[in-house]
């Protein structure tokens, strides 16, 4: 069985045949599905040689092959290349037996329609909500109108796809949205953690300096501009805290957001305690969690369930997040995390201050966080999804091989 996966995350290939992704979360998703297929054909944009990062996450499975699309960073680069992309997709769908589209993504609708004509079954994984994101973006004038038009097109396309295909959705909020639109949806929780990633420490905040961590792409909808205010409030209250923001800048709006974060930190006198650390590939990110005390994610609308919440739980970090989108379907306030009703500097500071001062609360969140992470590993998610896929599509899947790393590679660290 040949499984095709289409998405917009760019990859590249090294001379030794290695297939790489800069961030790593999608690479690990591909790895998790690879044991169920004889071959995985990865239909994604491929980075030109001039834009290959210095570091990244390698696909570990040895049965994954690239089916390259022309490189694009988003819809603005995608649509001018649409004629050549459609030709590539039409040829690609005839070479696979089953297709998985992660949406939203520009190529999904065109892959889906080509697959329907070719009689190739498709299943979807919905991981985000463009309609919820759109009002939070700082676009103006023509750019805002163009993005609004793209959002309408993408939402209609996803609605048509979900109504006629087996669909998984990341978190209760996205699942409920598409059920209301007439789709039969299976709720899941996307993840990047393996069983071996789960830490064992019982508590944090043991030293005089408290290190906070945020892992997020830097763009306006993530709420990161509230963090300098939170750090200033905590330091004014006598807590020796600092925060590292780990993640890539997304486009020009992301550049503006990073500049706004750094300017706010300067204005509030906490520039030495707020650091935008840039992206870190997943293989190096997972052990990085262990060096911090608390995890904060003041995100806005448009999320499914951010995979970094499970990563932080696996790393033994008490988490503070917003009660929004699919997050409450993973995080129970006071049990495995703290939920803020709204993302603000004051709300972040209040929740973090509460955790610093309450060891019993921290330990409870860590303990139940480990339990949550253990219930949502890559292995469990893939097995659950592919069991449903086999039953619903009739495609005969391969049995998963023995749980040993392929070709001498180690498990996720």
Whether residue 127 is found in the same domain as residue 9: yes
pLDDT over 80 (residue 84): yes
**Looking at 74-88, 236-250, 353-367, 387-401, which range is the least confident one?**
387-401
Please tell me the predicted confidence (pLDDT) of residue 254.
87
Whether residue 173 is found in the same domain as residue 285: no
383-409: burial string, b at 16+ Cβ within 10 Å, e else: eebbeebeeebebebeeeeeeeeeeee
Label residue 411 by pLDDT band (50, 70, 90): very low
Whether residue 319 is found in the same domain as residue 205: yes
pLDDT over 80 (residue 410): no
If one counts the domains in the chain, the total is 2
| Cis geometry, peptide bond prior to residue 192 (ω within 30 degrees of 0) | no
Please tell me the predicted confidence (pLDDT) of residue 350.
97
* Helix/strand/coil percent split, the chain, to 5: 45, 20, 35
Distances (CA, A) of 177 to 87, 190, 306, 315: 32, 17, 17, 31
Q: Is 174 helix (H, G, I), strand (E, B) or coil?
A: helix
What domain range includes position 289? 195-375
In a domain, 58, yes or no: yes
In a domain, 216, yes or no: yes
Q: Which two tokens stand for residue 249?
A: 């800048």
Whether residue 278 is found in the same domain as residue 395: no
Whether residue 210 is found in the same domain as residue 106: no
Whether residue 204 is found in the same domain as residue 146: no
Distances (CA, A) of 288 to 96, 312, 406: 38, 10, 24
Q: Cα(57)–Cα(20) distance, rounded to whole angstroms?
A: 5
Whether residue 158 is found in the same domain as residue 37: yes
Query: Is the C-alpha dihedral spanning 48, 246, 187, 381 positive or negative?
Result: positive
| CB contact at 8 A, 317 and 204 | yes
In a domain, 126, yes or no: yes
In a domain, 412, yes or no: no
What would the pLDDT profile of 331-387 be if each residue is shown by its tens digit?
999 999 999 998 899 999 999 999 999 999 999 999 999 999 999 999 999 999 999
Q: Which two tokens stand for residue 30?
A: 């591909």
- To which residue do tokens 């052990």 refer? 287
What would the pLDDT profile of 159-171 be if each residue is shown by its tens digit?
999 999 999 999 9
In a domain, 34, yes or no: yes
In a domain, 410, yes or no: no
In a domain, 20, yes or no: yes
- To which residue do tokens 């019993």 refer? 360
Whether residue 364 is found in the same domain as residue 297: yes
| CB contact at 8 A, 127 and 170 | yes
Other CB atoms closer than 10 Å to residue 83's CB: what's the count? 9
Distances (CA, A) of 267 to 41, 215, 278: 50, 23, 21
Whether residue 209 is found in the same domain as residue 334: yes
Average pLDDT over the chain reads: 92
Q: Is 402 helix (H, G, I), strand (E, B) or coil?
A: coil
pLDDT over 50 (residue 397): yes
Q: Cα(118)–Cα(113) distance, rounded to whole angstroms?
A: 9
pLDDT over 90 (residue 155): yes
| Ordered alpha helix ranges (H), 119-189 | 130-133, 141-164, 172-180
Please tell me the predicted confidence (pLDDT) of residue 400.
56
Whether residue 360 is found in the same domain as residue 389: no
Whether residue 143 is found in the same domain as residue 254: no
DSSP, res 95: T
Q: Cα(189)–Cα(185) distance, rounded to whole angstroms?
A: 13
Bridge partners, residue 246, by sequence = 215, 278
pLDDT over 60 (residue 407): no
Label residue 409 by pLDDT band (50, 70, 90): very low
Whether residue 281 is found in the same domain as residue 175: no
Label residue 264 by pLDDT band (50, 70, 90): very high
Bridge partners, residue 128, by sequence = 303
Domain holding 136: CATH number?
3.40.50.2000
In a domain, 27, yes or no: yes
Strand order in 19-21's β-sheet? Answer: 11-13, 19-21, 57-58
What would the pLDDT profile of 13-49 be if each residue is shown by its tens digit?
999 999 999 989 999 999 999 999 999 999 999 998 8
In this structure, what is the dihedral angle of CA atoms 74, 80, 82, 85, given to the nearest 10 degrees? -70
What would the pLDDT profile of 185-211 be if each residue is shown by its tens digit?
999 999 999 888 999 999 999 999 999
The arithmetic mean of pLDDT across residues 313-338, rounded, is 95
Query: Is the C-alpha dihedral spanning 297, 299, 305, 307 positive or negative?
Result: negative
């Amino acid at each position: 069985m040949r499984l095709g996966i289409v998405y917009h995350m760019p990859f590249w290939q090294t001379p030794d045949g290695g297939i790489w992704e800069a961030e790593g979360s999608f690479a690990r998703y591909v790895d998790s599905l690879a044991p169920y297929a004889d071959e995985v054909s990865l239909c994604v944009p491929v980075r030109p040689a001039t834009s290959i990062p210095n570091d990244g996450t390698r696909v570990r499975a040895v049965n994954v092959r690239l089916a390259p699309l022309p490189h694009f960073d988003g819809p603005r680069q995608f649509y001018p290349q649409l004629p050549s992309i459609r030709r590539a997709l039409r040829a690609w769908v005839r070479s696979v037996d089953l297709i998985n589209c992660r949406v939203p993504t520009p190529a999904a609708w065109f892959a889906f329609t080509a697959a329907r004509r070719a009689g190739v079954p498709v299943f979807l994984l919905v991981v985000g909500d463009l309609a919820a994101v759109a009002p939070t973006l700082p676009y103006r004038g023509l750019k805002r109108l163009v993005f609004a038009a793209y959002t309408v097109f993408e939402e209609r396309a996803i609605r048509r796809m979900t109504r006629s295909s087996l669909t998984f959705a990341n978190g209760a909020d996205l699942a409920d949205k598409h059920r209301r639109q007439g789709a039969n949806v299976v709720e899941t929780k996307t993840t990047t953690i393996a069983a071996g990633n789960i830490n064992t420490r019982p508590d944090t905040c043991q030293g005089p300096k408290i290190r906070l961590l945020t892992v997020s792409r830097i763009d306006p909808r993530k709420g990161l501009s509230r963090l300098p205010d939170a750090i200033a409030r905590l330091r004014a209250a006598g807590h020796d805290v600092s925060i590292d923001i780990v993640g890539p800048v997304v486009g020009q709006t992301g550049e503006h957001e990073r500049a706004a974060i750094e300017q706010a930190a300067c204005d509030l006198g906490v520039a030495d305690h707020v650091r935008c650390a840039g992206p870190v590939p997943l293989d190096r990110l997972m052990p990085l969690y262990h060096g911090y005390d608390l995890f904060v994610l003041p995100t806005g609308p448009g999320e499914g369930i951010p995979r970094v919440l499970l990563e932080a739980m696996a790393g033994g970090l008490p988490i503070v997040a917003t009660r929004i989108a699919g997050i409450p379907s993973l995080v129970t306030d006071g049990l495995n995390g703290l939920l803020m009703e709204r993302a603000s500097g004051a709300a972040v500071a209040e929740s973090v201050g509460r955790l610093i001062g309450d060891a019993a609360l921290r330990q409870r969140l860590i303990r139940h966080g480990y339990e949550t992470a253990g219930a949502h590993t890559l292995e469990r998610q893939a097995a659950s999804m592919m069991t449903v896929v086999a039953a619903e599509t009739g495609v005969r899947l391969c049995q998963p091989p023995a749980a040993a790393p392929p070709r001498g590679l180690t498990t996720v660290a």
